[in-house]
Amino acid sequence: MSQARQVTIDRSSPMPLYHQLKELLRNEIKQGMRPGQQLPTEQELIQRYQLSRITVIQAIKALEQEGLVQRIRGKGTFVSKPKIEQRLSKIFGFTQELQQRGMQPGTRLISAEQVHVPAHIAAELEVAADSKAWELRRLRLADGEAIAIQTAYIPVTLCPGLDVEKLSQSPSLYRLLREDHGLVATRARESYVAGVVSDPKEARLLQSRVGTPVLLATRTTFDAKGRAFEYVASILRGDRYTLYVDLYEPSAGQGGK
């Protein structure tokens, strides 16, 4: 594998000094630094490259905004763990998404019970208001680390005999629904909004703090017959997720402007 081009500090360049330092540090990270490995301190960078403290701080903040590093007050700056790309163009279950990235998926079942569906979820599932659904609340793990809380609602009429014990032992709900109930995801509708952790219990589950940035996602999933069989609300750790979208130029003749 060829090495990335080494970036140096060039004071005659029109490129801002902080940007040059950011690129230099980015190359060092990409060329072999491990997640959790500490970067040189601000003072070390100041002395090594003869830069001002403001310039060094700007460079580190830029890396932090890109999700490449994490600053821990009183300890230093560390290489971040790789983010999980959530692809918005294809249907992937959580388990499949992690396996494709070489990570070990895990699930902890928090609760599983039949409930009367709230009105807005009933509308998404296209069932009568106050219908019965399974409410499945699960903590999702990547390589043993908590990264998401998911609460799924599945109409009882579509899987009246849901095996909760089996679900507690399997990381993949989609596999269980496919094998035991013939429900196969063929289409889904998702939405994402930025938010923060507001519930102390959820913060503890996610190994974070109240006020930590998260992505709040909802998905309604349909089977081959067009039936909505799942509505799931997810709280995704903002430091571990990034959204990934495939964009294409409109085909000729489709009225692209």
Is 3.30.420.40 the CATH classification of the domain at 84-244? no
Q: How many CB atoms lie within 10 A of CB 177?
A: 24
Query: Which of 62-66, 144-148, 190-194, 251-255 is the least confident region?
Result: 251-255
- The band of 86, judged by pLDDT with boundaries at 50, 70 and 90, is low
Strands (E) located in 197-254: 213-222, 228-237, 241-244
Cβ pair 133, 156 in contact under 8 A = yes
Which CATH code, of 1.10.10.10, 1.10.645.10, 3.50.50.60, 3.20.10.10, is assigned to 17-79?
Answer: 1.10.10.10
At 1, the pLDDT band (50, 70, 90 cuts) reads: very low
More confident residue, 95 or 63: 63
Dist CA 167 CA 164 (whole Å): 5
Q: Worst-scoring range by mean pLDDT, 80-89, 144-153, 210-219? A: 80-89
**Helix, strand, coil shares of the chain as percentages rounded to 5?**
25, 30, 40
Q: Could you tell me if 195 and 214 are in contact, meaning their C-beta atoms sit under 8 angstroms apart?
A: yes
Provide the 8-state DSSP code for 38: B
pLDDT for res 3? 41
pLDDT given at position 93: 65
pLDDT, tens digit, for every residue of 50-70? 999 999 999 999 888 777 888
Q: What is the pLDDT of residues 177-187, one digit of tens each?
A: 999 999 999 99
- Domain boundaries along the sequence of the chain: 17-79, 84-244
